[in-house]
């Protein structure tokens, strides 16, 4: 809880640990989020003098701020809704996310026009609001952990206001290679890098992304990372205790029963195998190519028809942006097409669920024979780490070599080039036919690797790395 003298440990992120919904009767309901940061921060204990600064994201959050409803230790910033939309949808999700995940279709995109410059000004305003709130809330010499691409300008802005603070920046995404990063206008690229270099430490999920950041600094700013900034790497693992406990609650058992019913049994009465994926329906997750690979499997290895089901949980994400809505529609279209082409009276080849349901995700994890994680590019990908931990009977992980998790899990997964649909189909076949004893052995090793860096450790390591020397 922050004192009047300011907090000793501060976290800043766009999405905070709590959100509010507002119903028609005007009642506010709070919902706590999960994720690495939430469990990481809990590791320092509730007595710690901590403050989490985040954005008010919807009408419920904004109303909560207006009514003064909130939680001790959390400060939601009610930034003007248009400014926030420009910064979050316009710059963070349509430009920075696209650059770091290599998502542009370059013959037509990107175009950095006057509208982009206008949105960039909002991005600066939004970052400044965070820098001011942090400067205002921090005790002398406090540690501030700034999260992700949304807040890339904050470390520099905060350093200018409060040179006494110890500032870390953490990137949860990949980092673009210089030739791609330089699609950005030169002054904008320099501002982003310079913003992060305002921190004492800039940290990443893997060495690969840390190296790419250093390469961009050399390419854009000239040789040498300024001596004031250290570069760090902190992998983030699955939260084994939480997952094992949560995945055996009654609501998860209910979802298992209902999924089993939808999956059905093969004509000879044997259990159908399941290929499971769980993602936000997010362009980098490569859900469409996953479906194409599954179709290729059914074409190339027809003996799998009626004997396998692809359970695809693809939850809505960033639906304010047309490109995300279109992607979701494409996922739905291809899943329907596969079901129409191959499905029979007793067999639905693709079970596609689009409504976010954490208990169902855990149920699918438990049932998985094969985990399909094939992103175009991903900072880490926790699903790849969670499924081997939770699966009841072991699962084979088919993993993109472009996911950060590849560095830790690559040896015991079947790895794929995410663009190569034929190779992905072959990998699925190999996964489905792997002997059960080998599968069990690999799952054990995957689960051990996946849980080696629990979120609490990840958080504390970053904090300690900022300790005064």
**Interface positions with ligand G6P (CB under 6 A):** 15, 148, 172-173, 317-318
- Judged by CB, which is closer to ligand G6P: 281, or 443? 281
Answer whether 266's CB lies under 8 Å from 308's CB: no
For residue 97, the minimal CB distance to ligand G6P (Å) is 8
Distance CA 98, CA 117 (A): 17
Q: What are phi and psi of 415, to 5 degrees?
A: -100, 150
For residue 379, the minimal CB distance to ligand G6P (Å) is 6
- Judged by CB, which is closer to ligand G6P: 115, or 356? 356
- Judged by CB, which is closer to ligand G6P: 75, or 172? 172
343 alpha-carbon distance from chain centroid: 33
For residue 380, the minimal CB distance to ligand G6P (Å) is 9
- Judged by CB, which is closer to ligand G6P: 147, or 191? 147
For residue 3, the minimal CB distance to ligand G6P (Å) is 28
Position of minimal CB gap to ligand G6P: 172
Distance CA 223, CA 225 (A): 7
Answer whether 210's CB lies under 8 Å from 232's CB: yes
For residue 151, the minimal CB distance to ligand G6P (Å) is 9
- Judged by CB, which is closer to ligand G6P: 6, or 195? 195
> Strand pairing partners for 169?
146, 202
- Judged by CB, which is closer to ligand G6P: 15, or 260? 15
Range 20-27 contact pairs with CB under 8 angstroms and sequence separation of 24 or more: 20/58, 20/60, 20/61, 20/63, 20/64, 20/69, 21/58, 21/60, 22/59, 22/60, 22/63
For residue 310, the minimal CB distance to ligand G6P (Å) is 24
Q: Which residues contact 154 (CB under 8 A, 6 or more apart)?
A: 12, 127, 130, 131, 134, 146, 169, 195, 198
For residue 65, the minimal CB distance to ligand G6P (Å) is 18
For residue 20, the minimal CB distance to ligand G6P (Å) is 16
- Judged by CB, which is closer to ligand G6P: 173, or 415? 173
- Judged by CB, which is closer to ligand G6P: 173, or 443? 173
């Amino acid at each position: 809880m922050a004192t009047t003298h300011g907090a000793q440990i501060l976290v800043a992120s766009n999405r905070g640990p709590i959100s509010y919904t507002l119903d028609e009767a005007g009642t506010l309901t709070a919902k706590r989020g999960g994720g690495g940061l939430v469990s990481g921060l809990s590791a320092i204990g509730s007595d710690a003098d901590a403050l989490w600064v985040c954005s008010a994201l919807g009408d419920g959050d904004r109303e909560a701020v207006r009514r003064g409803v909130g939680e001790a230790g959390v400060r939601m910033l009610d930034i003007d809704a248009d400014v926030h939309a420009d910064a979050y949808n316009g710059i963070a999700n349509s430009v920075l996310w696209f650059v770091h995940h290599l998502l542009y279709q370059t013959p037509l995109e990107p175009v950095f026009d006057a509208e982009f410059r206008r949105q960039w000004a909002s991005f600066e305003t939004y970052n400044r609001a965070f820098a001011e709130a942090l400067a205002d809330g921090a005790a002398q010499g406090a540690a501030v952990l700034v999260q992700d691409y949304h807040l890339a300008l904050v470390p520099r802005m905060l350093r200018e206001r409060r040179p006494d603070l110890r500032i870390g920046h953490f990137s949860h995404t990949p980092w673009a290679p210089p030739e791609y990063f330089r699609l950005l206008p030169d002054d904008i690229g320099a501002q982003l890098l310079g913003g992060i270099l305002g921190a004492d430490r800039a940290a990443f999920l893997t060495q690969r992304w840390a190296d790419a950041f250093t390469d961009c600094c050399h390419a854009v700013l000239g040789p040498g990372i300024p001596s004031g900034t250290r570069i760090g790497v902190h992998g983030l693992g699955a939260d084994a205790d939480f997952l094992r406990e949560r995945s055996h609650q009654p609501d998860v058992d209910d979802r298992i029963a209902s999924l089993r019913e939808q999956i059905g049994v093969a004509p000879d009465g044997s259990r159908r195998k399941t290929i499971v994926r769980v993602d936000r329906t997010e362009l980098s997750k490569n859900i469409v190519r996953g479906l194409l690979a599954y179709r290729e499997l059914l074409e190339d290895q027809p003996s799998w028809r009626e004997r396998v089901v692809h359970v695809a949980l693809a939850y809505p994400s960033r639906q304010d942006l047309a490109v995300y809505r279109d992607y979701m529609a494409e996922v739905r279209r291809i899943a329907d097409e596969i079901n129409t082409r191959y499905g029979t009276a007793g067999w639905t080849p693709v079970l596609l669920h689009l409504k976010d349901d954490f208990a169902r995700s855990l149920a699918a994890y438990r049932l998985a024979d094969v985990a399909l994680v094939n992103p175009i590019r991903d900072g880490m990908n926790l699903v790849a780490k969670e499924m081997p931990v939770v699966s009841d009977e072991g699962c084979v992980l088919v993993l993109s070599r472009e996911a950060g998790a590849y560095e830790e899990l690559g040896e015991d997964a079947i790895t794929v080039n995410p663009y190569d649909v034929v190779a992905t189909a072959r990998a699925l076949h190999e996964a489905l036919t792997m002997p059960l004893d080998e599968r069990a052995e690999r799952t054990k090793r995957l689960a051990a690797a996946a849980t080696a860096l629990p979120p609490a450790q990840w958080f504390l390591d970053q904090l300690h790395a900022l300790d005064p020397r």
